[in-house]
Structure 1
Amino acid sequence: MARRCGRATSRFTPCPGEMETLSGWLCCSLLLVAAAQAGLYTASDQIVILSPADVEAVLWNSSAATVVEFYASWCGHCIAFSPVFKGLARDIKEWKPAVELAAINCAAEENRKVCTSYGIRGYPTLKFFNAYTKAGGNGTKHNETFSLDFPRDIRGLRHKIIDQLENHAEPWPPACPPLEPTSQAEIDSFFETNNVRHLALIFEEARSYVGRELTLDLLQFENIAVRRVLNTEEALVSKLGVTTFPSCYLYYPGGNFTRLKVKAEARAFYSYALQRLPGVVRSGKPAPVSPDVLNNNTEEVWRPFNRSRVYMADLESTLHYSLRVEVAAHTVIRGEALISLRNYIAALAKYFPGRPVVMNLLKSVNSWLQNQTGSEISYEAFEGVLDNAAQSPDAALPEGQRWVGCQGSRPHLRRYPCGVWTLFHVLTVQAKNAGGSDPQEVLSAMRSYVHVFFGCRLCAEHFENMARESLTEVSTLSSAVLWLWSRHNQVNNRLAGDLSEDPNFPKIQWPSPEMCPACHTAKTNGDHLWNKEKVLAFLLSHFAANSIVKDYLEDEGQILAKQKEKHAVRQERKAREASDLMTPPASPPAVDEKQEEEEEEGEELQEEEEEGGEGAVAPDEMVGKTTEPGPWAKPEVEAGRRRRQAHRKPSIVGMRMRDFREDIVDLDSFVNQYYKAKAMQLAASSRVRPRTLQRKEEQESGPVFGLDIRLDVVQPEKWLQKRELTGGYFSEEASHRGRWMSVLSIGFSKVDISLCVILYVLSSLCLLTMYLFFKNRFKPRRVKIFLPYTNEYSN
């Protein structure tokens, strides 16, 4: 019988305890589904994320061997193993031309068919795919499940991969160098067949992996080769006097050799020292630029600096670019961006160890931001505060970039990214030294700023992946300093060999053994180990406020003077703009004034024409001068005519009116062109009817054709004057037909329009005639019905 809870009557109503259980299972199910879709790896982990679309391209017929992890994102063992696999990817990053790491999430619906096709039944499963694996190959299975005897550490996995490479069938991965031990005979003839500058010999025991690991570590570098020599090679061991295994010797042509001096006889120390030998460069990367070339560079002056110091010029340049360039990309700052900006400025105002003028400005900006109660601000308003528009005393942020410790050998290398990392390190150290209360205060501000404002969006995504993965582990101010340091080294590892790497400043695991020898040590098995106590002490000293160098800084007085000058120029510009707005624009002459000017001009022309004065112009003199006033024109009339033409607007939008000029004496062509020009001027002129200048006897109309177009017969000396008034006649007599008639007359003479009408009528009649003709021609004929013949006598 169903249990009843409370007063519930339905037998399916769960009890409160059951509700909690169901809610818990539902939450777990949702989390598992989300995890299954999200996966355990991202592109930031230097692991190839496989999908059904690219699995064949990566695993089949590839020039590199590939280690693939088949996992399920809900599997607890897979989750525990993922940091190891990520660490392995960083550890063997330099092996990539020969060995690739990949992973596929079998919990994702779209990947299940792929995992089934490769016979995956347990998670995690590792498979090793040889180079040039044929289509359909399933690879070499390392383990069915995560068994206890399988190596779960980076060192064990690294050795397992080397074993698989040594057992690799033909064809051998083309990028992989030989891993077998060498002999004295090969060493003696090595430089005859190889064009390298350095030959590193690793003397070790047979079961040691140091020589093979170094061989793979250096395969991306030119001018150096690594060979493994076993302690059983007595002739070569005795020749070089080797007594310690492992040990590294540099061998040169002619039998010269020297021992490589390192702090510890271990792989990491050998690798670092060999990669920094003279002439050793990464394949495909340009050689480092010599100091002489940098100093003689005419594009930008090189500033000599100490690589082991932090420079205030870099920090101020970073602030300038951050606040005046990156934040400026957001014209309106709202929501998450506004919160990020507030936290970022608050961290700067609290922990930035700047000069007094810079600190005063940062505190002023922080106070202004915190007092903003709205949900958004404009960058224009923020910029005004940033530029100290209120003219607060002794507060300014230098403009421009002046890189010193973050200089690059080329203009596009280092600089702002280097400055951002330096600024964040300084802030975390200052928070530690100042005894801040929140360990994640600076890191959270950095995370949100990078997520919202940092210009390199892919870089911001990678940083967000690192923060999402492990930022919750930060619980103390010291761990915050170390967290940022370790993530910076992860980024250096990922970007080593990238196009953004400066050959003069390679991406290394920092600090280097030269800067902090005590920070580096080795485990009993030879693996590198960071002494984090020494690292923390180094960081707190290196980024301390009293350790920051003030060289190459602009004088504070000059900064304030430039700021004052900038504000003076801005105020002058605003005042000029305000005065321009207050000045009323010149109004065009009224219609009445224009009408009066036209009437006065017409009366004067009529009087001069009737009097036949000496200022009259003969028709032959006006040919080619139809738009220019004669020498008799008065200055006032000419000025009035220019004003009318300046304010005259066309009646059709987009049509530009201009006076027509004709230099051809051909009278017929002249008449046609002149009528077109006058028609266009008529359409653009005002509605005021021009006064006639003709005598009564000249106004007698001639024959009319079509649309009230009159052909007047006048005397030659009156022809031009008659022609000037034709537009007026047409406009007056056709005014009752509407404005559209004036539109039709634009660009055409009356003869043109009448001919068009006549042709239209004729064509219509022709079409009608053709229609009637074909109608009669194809008229259906009457059908005659023939009755069958019958004989009346047949019956």
Structure 2
Amino acid sequence: MGDWGCCFGWNAGFREPELPGGRTLKPGGADTRWEEKLCEVDSEVESCCAHTDLLLLLHLLHLLQLQQQKMARRCGRATSRLTEEIQIFPRKSAASAVCLCLCLLFPSAAEAGLYTATDQIVLLTPENVDSVLVNSSAAVFVEFYASWCGHCIAFSPIFKSLARDIKEWKPAVDLAAMDCAAEENRKVCISYGIRGYPSIKFFHAYSKADSEGEDFAGFPRDVQGLRRSIIDKLETHKEPWAPACPPLEPTSQAEIDSFFDTNNVQHLALIFEEAKSYIGREVTLDLLQFENIAVRRVLNTEEGLVARLGVTEFPSCYLYYPGGNFTRLSVKIEARSFYSYALQRLPGVVRSGKPPPVSTPVLTGNSEEPWRPFNRSRVYMADLESALHYSLRVEVAAHTVVKGEALISLKKYVAVLAKYFPGRPVVRNLLKSVDSWLQNQTRDEISYEAFKDILDNSAQSPDAALPEGVRWVGCQGSQPHLRRYPCGVWTLFHVLTVQAKNTRGTDPKEVLMAMRNYVHSFFGCRSCAEHFENMAMESLMEVDTFSSAVLWLWSRHNLVNNRLAGALSEDPNFPKIQWPSPEMCPACHAVKANGDHSWIQKEVLPFVLSYFSSSSILTDYLEDESQVLAKQREKHGRQQVAVAAQKRVERETKETSEHVMRPLTSQPAEEDQEELLDEAVADDEEEGGEGAAAAADELGGKTSEPTPWVKPEIKVDRGRWRAHRKPSIVGMRMRDVQEDIVDLDSFVNQHYKAKVLQVASSSRVKPRTLQRKEEQEPDPGLRMLGLQPLDADFELDIGQQRKRLQKRELTGQYTSDEELSHRGRWMSVLSIGFSKVDISLCVVLYFLSSMCLLAMYLFFKNRLRLRRAKLALP
């Protein structure tokens, strides 16, 4: 079987072909002739899966047809054994046809390319190829490939691993790739002389525009071989030397003696090794992005330095200081990865461009929250609950309506939390309540407000609450924008995968799929969500046990740490390292025969299970459960009071708007007037006018006039009342003048004053207060509406207008007041719509205009007299 045996054949789940006598055909068996035939078909199927060009597919169909015809011709001379074999071959041909159909239906998978930005590889295009390869300050290691090429597909994981392995070398050398199968890239590939795939080319720093790079003929297919090939190319670099590339040649005793005179560094690491060893050069490039340290390679033939430091083992690493002081670097294994890790953790060694680590006292003074001392080798429940709060109350809250795929993701996420979260009883009870509510939702969408009501336990279920706010402990950062929620999410899902294994769940992928769906639908960092989705698409389907699920999440977390090491989001106090470190788990680390680092997964698994076990989680810095429940009840009570107040305000606002608009609208209908009249008659019969009079006496001053809502005409039958409101000019009797100009301020005060009188009358007779009139507090109804209390004098002045307004509300017109004098009516007419200040101004202007006219009259009269006198002279 070829590399694509997973497409069809035994690896795809097909039954092994049966031969006469019940035997089966297996690779490497005695039936070599039939094995060769099936291998031919497998080769063609492999080409089918790897190629998407339509002409190649048609050519493959033709080959399959010819092969079938050959077998058919042999069938006539075949024995019964061959007859059985012929019946097997059409099944393989059918499988090939299915492969062709799949390749035709889904060409985009092949055209998408083999690398993404997540792989830390520069993706070349016609737009950026010149800026990357021409006159660059760094050397570039480029792979030209075709996305349909089977060998390119097999080589892509190695190239990705190489990119991760030499990530720290980037200032000196970059990795790039170009898909020559893409239509837009073909001309570029031809211009660089690409004839086969994959092709590797090395471009030195400051390459010219006409340079086609150096070919790697027969390049190695492993990371170590490629890494060493790059070093060899860097050492043969001609002038000008790449400015970021450190010296890779062996050093001498003379250079070491004067090193600190010409270099301002805190540490000098000397790696003693043999001439053929690459460890010194690899560590030198690994420390390229770090300050306050320099690495030099010393060969075992440098007898002076070897004798001075007493070196007996090769390789070995020594720290050399001014004055000739030195000490040996303590590592578990004398290998490149252990040297690099130990040197990067030396005091004062920081990544270039990053601030140095901040001490705890400084953190305490600068952070928004007080620094909480914690054990870095333990998990804290405060981080898990904070992650829950932020995910459910902040990130999910960004969706006002959760529907479709997002709703399914939310249901699975909460179901996993309710099933595996190892929290306190109150938190677990709430998660189960939320999960039950979500599972009972049959609609394809829900509002976040409804979800929040359940999350906040508005129904007040007993012993159920999720603390609000965040309280980071193990995930706190040196700055408010570092670590925190991303750290909390990773920790939460590590704990869930471990809990699923320890509680013997039913589906190994349950937690990982819930995490994948949640990140895809809700995680705020969309680039992070895309990167995680790419990792899940590549290898999540390989998970088939709970142990593999735990290790999958652990390994992908380390991939993310490798990608983000040195980024702006890296906390200098908590650098992105491959976890667990050699200090935390020495047994987890080892080296391969070639010297490369390797993980001992049989040691990693128990360490991860122990680290994230529910029994190892610390409960420091948590609020007491009784306090959490008390805060929840208090919040619920405040919400109820706020809702009641809001409803009351809305009701009062509605009533106020109705009363304000009533006098400005058209006259009420006849039926409404009759209803008002009936209500007035009923109120008058029930209260006898006593309560109203008392209220008017208390609020508006003593008066002998009837209250505005008591009318003398209400004892008249309805026919007379209707006749009375008809307009009439008999006798030319002057009627009350209607107000065409309305003073809104006085009107609003009058209206609410009348409303207060109505409220006062509803309580029959109010007890009089013993306070003086000036000391009485304003009525609460007026204070609530933002109005000032009326003065007593002003109340007496507007009493008549208030009565007329109330009468107009009942009858639709003004009725004549028999007690007003004729002079009073005319003064009322003159004062409609004018204040006392307006009338005073009018009088003053009238007086001034009269004086002006008088002065003009006297002036012209005097002039006329003088003129006549002149004319009378002889």
Residue identity matched to 1:587 = V
1:576 CA drift (Å): 1.8
**Equivalent position to 1:103, from 150, 154, 177:** 177
Deviates more, 1:176-185 or 1:564-573: 564-573
1:572 CA drift (Å): 1.1
Match of 2:671 in 1: none
- In the aligned structure 1, how far is the partner of 2:795 from the partner of 2:461? 66
**Equivalent position to 2:104, from 25, 29, 39:** 29
1:35 CA drift (Å): 3.1
Deviates more, 1:134-143 or 1:555-564: 134-143
Match of 2:113 in 1: 39
**Equivalent position to 1:233, from 302, 318, 335:** 302
Instruction: Summarize the Cα distance change of 1:45–1:566 in structure 2 as closer, same or farther, 3 Å threshold.
Output: same
Match of 1:494 in 2: 563
1:37 CA drift (Å): 2.1
Deviations, residues 730-753 of structure 1 (Å, cap 9, x unaligned): xxxxxxxxxxxxxxxxxxxxxxxx
Is 2:797 the partner of 1:635?
yes
Paired residues of 1:602 and 1:693 also in contact (CA < 8 A)? no
Match of 2:660 in 1: 587
1:17 CA drift (Å): 11
Residue identity matched to 1:282 = R
Instruction: Summarize the Cα distance change of 1:179–1:565 in structure 2 as closer, same or farther, 3 Å threshold.
Output: same
SS of the residue 2:660 aligns to:
coil
1:436 CA drift (Å): 1.3
- In the aligned structure 1, how far is the partner of 2:801 from the partner of 2:575? 76
Is 2:669 the partner of 1:600?
no
- In the aligned structure 2, how far is the partner of 1:511 from the partner of 1:275? 16
Residue identity matched to 1:501 = E
Deviations, residues 150-193 of structure 1 (Å, cap 9, x unaligned): 31111110000000000111111110000000000000000000
Match of 1:770 in 2: none
**Equivalent position to 2:274, from 190, 205, 209:** 205
1:27 CA drift (Å): 2.0
**Equivalent position to 1:87, from 155, 161, 165:** 161
- In the aligned structure 1, how far is the partner of 2:178 from the partner of 2:189? 8
- In the aligned structure 1, how far is the partner of 2:547 from the partner of 2:663? 81
Residue identity matched to 2:553 = L
SS of the residue 1:304 aligns to:
coil
What fraction of aligned residue pairs are identical, expressed as a percent? 71
User: What is the TM-score of this pair, normalised by structure 1?
Assistant: 0.73
Structure 2 gap segments, 5+ residues each? 1-64, 66-89, 669-724, 728-733, 742-792, 807-827, 832-844, 851-874
**Structure with the largest fraction of helix:** 2
User: What is the TM-score of this pair, normalised by structure 2?
Assistant: 0.67
**Equivalent position to 2:470, from 393, 401, 405:** 401
| Matched pairs, number | 609
Residue identity matched to 1:82 = S
SS of the residue 1:206 aligns to:
coil
Is 2:200 the partner of 1:126?
yes
- In the aligned structure 2, how far is the partner of 1:179 from the partner of 1:34? 44
Match of 1:540 in 2: 609
Deviations, residues 291-312 of structure 1 (Å, cap 9, x unaligned): 2212334632000000000000
1:481 CA drift (Å): 0.4
Residue identity matched to 1:25 = L
Match of 1:321 in 2: 390
Instruction: Summarize the Cα distance change of 1:636–1:492 in structure 2 as closer, same or farther, 3 Å threshold.
Output: same
Is 2:165 the partner of 1:67?
no
1:582 CA drift (Å): 3.4
1:522 CA drift (Å): 1.3
Deviates more, 1:573-582 or 1:53-62: 573-582
Instruction: Summarize the Cα distance change of 1:602–1:572 in structure 2 as closer, same or farther, 3 Å threshold.
Output: closer
1:719 CA drift (Å): 9.6
Deviations, residues 613-644 of structure 1 (Å, cap 9, x unaligned): xxxxxxxxxxxxxxxxxx99982299779999
Match of 1:462 in 2: 531
- In the aligned structure 2, how far is the partner of 1:501 from the partner of 1:643? 75
TM-align CA RMSD: 3.0
Match of 1:648 in 2: none
Residue identity matched to 1:588 = M
Deviations, residues 527-570 of structure 1 (Å, cap 9, x unaligned): 11111011001000000000000000010000000000111111
Residue identity matched to 1:28 = C
Deviations, residues 393-421 of structure 1 (Å, cap 9, x unaligned): 00000000000000101111000000000
- In the aligned structure 2, how far is the partner of 1:22 from the partner of 1:528? 44
Residue identity matched to 2:198 = P
- In the aligned structure 1, how far is the partner of 2:735 from the partner of 2:602? 101
Instruction: Summarize the Cα distance change of 1:18–1:235 in structure 2 as closer, same or farther, 3 Å threshold.
Output: closer
Paired residues of 2:367 and 2:480 also in contact (CA < 8 A)? no
- In the aligned structure 2, how far is the partner of 1:231 from the partner of 1:639? 115
Match of 1:623 in 2: none
1:71 CA drift (Å): 0.6
1:367 CA drift (Å): 0.5
SS of the residue 1:600 aligns to:
coil
Is 2:530 the partner of 1:530?
no
Paired residues of 1:95 and 1:219 also in contact (CA < 8 A)? yes
1:573 CA drift (Å): 1.3
1:344 CA drift (Å): 0.4
Residue identity matched to 2:290 = F
SS of the residue 1:114 aligns to:
helix
Match of 2:519 in 1: 450
**Equivalent position to 2:245, from 157, 176, 179:** 176
Residue identity matched to 2:797 = P
Instruction: Summarize the Cα distance change of 1:632–1:139 in structure 2 as closer, same or farther, 3 Å threshold.
Output: closer
Instruction: Summarize the Cα distance change of 1:246–1:692 in structure 2 as closer, same or farther, 3 Å threshold.
Output: same
Deviations, residues 17-41 of structure 1 (Å, cap 9, x unaligned): 999865542322344x323421111
Match of 1:349 in 2: 418
Instruction: Summarize the Cα distance change of 1:602–1:530 in structure 2 as closer, same or farther, 3 Å threshold.
Output: closer
Match of 2:640 in 1: 571
**Equivalent position to 1:374, from 443, 460, 483:** 443
- In the aligned structure 2, how far is the partner of 1:17 from the partner of 1:429? 43
Match of 1:647 in 2: none
Match of 1:266 in 2: 335
- In the aligned structure 1, how far is the partner of 2:800 from the partner of 2:254? 108
Residue identity matched to 1:530 = W
Residue identity matched to 2:466 = L
Structure 1 gap segments, 5+ residues each? 3-14, 606-630, 645-690, 695-714, 721-795
Deviations, residues 104-137 of structure 1 (Å, cap 9, x unaligned): 1111111111111111111111110000111121
Deviations, residues 65-92 of structure 1 (Å, cap 9, x unaligned): 0011101111111111111100000000
Paired residues of 2:351 and 2:566 also in contact (CA < 8 A)? yes
SS of the residue 2:269 aligns to:
strand
- In the aligned structure 2, how far is the partner of 1:233 from the partner of 1:297? 50
Paired residues of 1:36 and 1:107 also in contact (CA < 8 A)? no
- In the aligned structure 1, how far is the partner of 2:351 from the partner of 2:805? 76
1:435 CA drift (Å): 1.0
- Once the two structures are superposed, the pairs formed by residues 279-294 of structure 1 within 5 Å of their partners are 279-294=348-363
Residue identity matched to 1:492 = N
- In the aligned structure 1, how far is the partner of 2:488 from the partner of 2:795? 75
